[in-house]
Each structure stands twice: as C-alpha cells, then as structure tokens.
Structure 1
C-alpha cells in the first residue's frame, strides 16, 4: 500500500477532509493476538472516530478485533471467541474497510480470523457488530497484486463461492450470486493472472 502510493492517497484525502490521522502498521499475515492488543492500545491513545482498515484480509480482520478492544477495554479475547458474543460496537467509532486483494470479502462480512501461535489455533470471531459500515472496493488496488497473489486470492474467492453454493444455509438468492461468482472467476482469473486488463503488470 505504501509502495504504490495508496496509503499516502488515503491519508491525504482524510486530511483534506479536516480529519486527524494516525497510521498503525506492521500487521503480519494471519494476525496474532499480541498485534491486535497493540493496535487496540494505539486506538485508545489516539481515540479515533473512524477506523479505516486498508489492505488484505489480515489487516482488516486485525482492525475488526482491535475495534472491539478499543471500545471495551474490559472485554477478553476468550469472550470474543464465543460466536455472536461481541458487545455493541459504534459507541466510539465507525469502521471503513478498503480491500487490496480478492478472496476473503472480509470488508462485507461479520467475521475476523485471529491466530494464537502459542496454542497453534486460528480463532474465527463472528458477530454482525464487526461488519464494516463502509466498504470501498477500488480496482486500482487489486491491479497492484503480484501474479502469485492473484492466483492465491482468486482461488480463495472460488472456494468461497463454491462454499456458499453448497452451504446448508444457502437460499435461492445466494445460489444465484454464488453461481455467477464461480462463472466470473472461471472466465477471468487466468486473464487476470496474465495481466490482461491491468494498467501495469507486476511479476
């Protein structure tokens, strides 16, 4: 996000709107509990009205969890691990997600995955409270993905589409979306991998 100038663009746009901005960086792939707590402490110090999460699934997932600890210092990670057990959010801040990859769709879902390496466990946090208020999906960001990431996230998107179609919670509405997503990925993933339709190629 830094290298291609997107972070600066977002920060500058927010500052032009007369908003104070503080950037929290260093989210690892498969974000860990310690990083979440560190980010929550940074939020408590800065006291933002908006949380803007930029990047792939990992930084957006991490920011979702940070959001809960920012608004409720007393909540424990163990409590958040219980499905649909989050306290009511938006008492201090709203949430905007700007994804740079395809696949997880965390920018429009009620889920966050946080890893505890000490226990060797990935915890899926689930609650409608953590669904972002705003999702900004900008194709310019996706076009910066290297070919390997195009392949990985493209197959991730395909997996999620198939999963939605065979889910026990499927319905006529979701079936149409899932089948159309499968069709679009099948028709476009290889071209996307080869850089067709992109403004710049990144190996």
Structure 2
C-alpha cells in the first residue's frame, strides 16, 4: 500500500494556547484582521476577548458575529465582501465548525471572486494555489475537526442541499486548539458535536481509503471519546474530559482528511439540508443504523472499535451499534428522525439527495437507491 500524508495546518494544542494569538499574527506579518464568530460567542464575551488579543499586534480589526448553525452560502459571501471592503490580510475564526468553515470559504471568495458554489461539485473550478490572506482558527467546540480539515460545508437553502468545497488550499494556516475555550459549551451542543467526533473516527476507520496512518488516529480518537464524552456532557468544567474531547476532534479531523467519510455523513447532510436539523444531532440519529448496514463487510474493524470503546468506558463489550446507541442515550441525543422534526413526506427526498453524495464512494459497502430509502425509513 502507498499513501500520502498531508497536514498543511500548523497546530498548537493545550490549555492557554489561545493567548499565543498575538504572536502568531505577528509572525504572519498581518495588520488588518476580520474576526469571524457567532452571536452566542459575542454575547459570552469570547469574541471581545479574541478582538483584544488581535489588537495587541494588529492596527485594524473588524468583527463579523452573525454566523448561524449550518451556515449558508450567503453568509460566506457577506464575510468575503467585508474582507474586500476592509482590505483584510488575515481572518481569525473563533467558534465551532460553522464559523471556521465560513472563514475558510470567505477568504477563498474574497481572493478568487464569484460564488462559493463554483468551487463545489464534480465540475468545480480548480483551486490552484494557497490563499495569500492568512487564516488562524480557534475552535470552541470538540466536533467538526474543521480546524485541520480540507473541507468547507455550506447550506444552499434554495436548493435544499449542502455544498461541500474540498481542497488542501482551503485548510487554515494555524490552529490554536485551546480546550479552555470549550468549557462553556452547553451539554446538548457538547453531546451533538461529540457524537460527530466519533462518527468521523469510525467512518474514516472503515473507509475504502483508510490507511495505517488514519487508522492509528481514528483508534486514539475513539478511545478518547469513549473515555470522556459522557463526562464532558455532564461536567462541562472537567479539564481532563474537555482536553480529551478537543484532542479527539483534532485527531479524527486529520484521520478523515486522509480517509474521507461515508454513508452516515451522506444521510446526515441530506437530513440537515431538507429539515434544518443540526449536523451533530442528525449524525447521532444515523450512525447506529449505518454501522449495522456496513457490518456485513467490515465486522473485523467494527469489532476492534467496539473493544476500544468498551474498554475506554469501562463497560462490558457489546456490538458497536449498541455501544453507540448507549452513548447517545447517556448524552441525551434523540434516537429517531421524527424526534428532530423530520416529517415522513421528506424521506424520499432525503434518500435521493443521499444517493448523489460523493461520500458514498468511500463507504465500505455499496448502497443502492433502494438500500438508502429502506435505511432512511428505518430511521424515522
């Protein structure tokens, strides 16, 4: 087997590394910065804290604090316009995957012009070189792994689809992964983002493009999730649990950068696109059923994953799907699509949208339109 390892993002990990932002920006030789975040972090004072750090070394800072969950292509374009208006030479994203993905897409559009959708899909315009505008990210959730990934995911509400842009040149230049920034995340968000971390690790682990490198990262990520997700949900100020989940998110992000994802994320993206269900919540509903579907072709790796999770949790071994369902219950995640507002009339459209997802090519088991429709109906 031959494979390539590519990690363009420089990562600093540990409690307190957010304080290194002024030095990072100084090393980048930038002076005009756009900070991208969401209303919740602005209300909590996190955005102002980051602004103050930026102003220690930069002469101008502009704040965009209107990033929504599952951000739209319009939000990307608004931030890109702000970058052009302010002649920004750097962006700083502070938040979950939504804020980070918006910053990734915005610097691309600000430099190359046009609509973010032109860089997505099978006929995407090529991204041929790194952006000149610098990007530093500070994740505040342990979930998407967006701080190190080559992907940006955006909602096109007009078409009811998720738009995915993929390129190593989309990745952030620097990620400051400070677990202290995750301590204020509420339990329901911790649960949803945490199950997403586990799905990243598991889907990368059984992907057709999995390698020994991605497997090692995925296994370590699973172990950390098994050990700390429930604790992080129930005791948000637990330093060890928050650190473990932040590290798990980082490692699984690097893993699926190289091995990609599968059917769970394909269905979840369609669910979110059609019914505005938060991504992590949709993942939690879909993951156990997809594990059962895939088990006929990858039972060996699933058995290994079940052993890792059971040992980390200090529980008796069961099937992988049973362990994941137990984790979801213990963290308060819903179990069915009907529980998250998906109506029965949407199921066929969700299945059809899943069928065209590029994620399916990496899933370990083939899935026909009929297979997917049966699976989606079973989730309802």
> Is the TM-score greater than 0.5?
yes
Q: 2:57, 2:171 → 1: CA distance?
A: 24
**CA positional deviation for 1:196:** 6.0
Q: 1:136, 1:197 → 2: CA distance?
A: 20
Q: Runs of 5+ in structure 1 lacking a partner?
A: none
- The higher radius of gyration belongs to 2
Which of 144, 151, 159 does residue 184 from structure 2 map onto? Answer: 144
**Who is 2:104 aligned against?**
64
Which of 143, 162, 167 does residue 202 from structure 2 map onto? Answer: 162
**CA positional deviation for 1:139:** 0.9
Q: Runs of 5+ in structure 2 lacking a partner?
A: 1-40, 240-380
**Who is 1:90 aligned against?**
131
Which of 101, 116, 130 does residue 77 from structure 1 map onto? Answer: 116
**CA positional deviation for 1:65:** 0.9
- Tell me if the contact between 1:98 and 1:135 (Cα under 8 Å) persists in the aligned partners: yes
Q: 2:58, 2:80 → 1: CA distance?
A: 24
SS of residue matched to 1:54? strand
**Who is 1:111 aligned against?**
151
- The CA deviation string for residues 156-186 of structure 1, in whole angstroms up to 9 with x for no partner, is 0000010111111111111111011101101
Q: Under a length normalisation based on structure 1, what TM-score does the superposition of the two structures give?
A: 0.91
**Who is 1:129 aligned against?**
169
Aligned CA distance change for structure 1 residues 3 and 20 (closer, same or farther; 3 Å): same
- Please give the root-mean-square deviation of Cα atoms over the aligned residues, in Å: 1.6
**Who is 2:58 aligned against?**
18
Count of paired positions: 197
Q: Under a length normalisation based on structure 2, what TM-score does the superposition of the two structures give?
A: 0.50
82-91 or 17-26, which moves further after superposition?
82-91
- Tell me if the contact between 1:79 and 1:85 (Cα under 8 Å) persists in the aligned partners: no
Aligned CA distance change for structure 1 residues 27 and 197 (closer, same or farther; 3 Å): closer
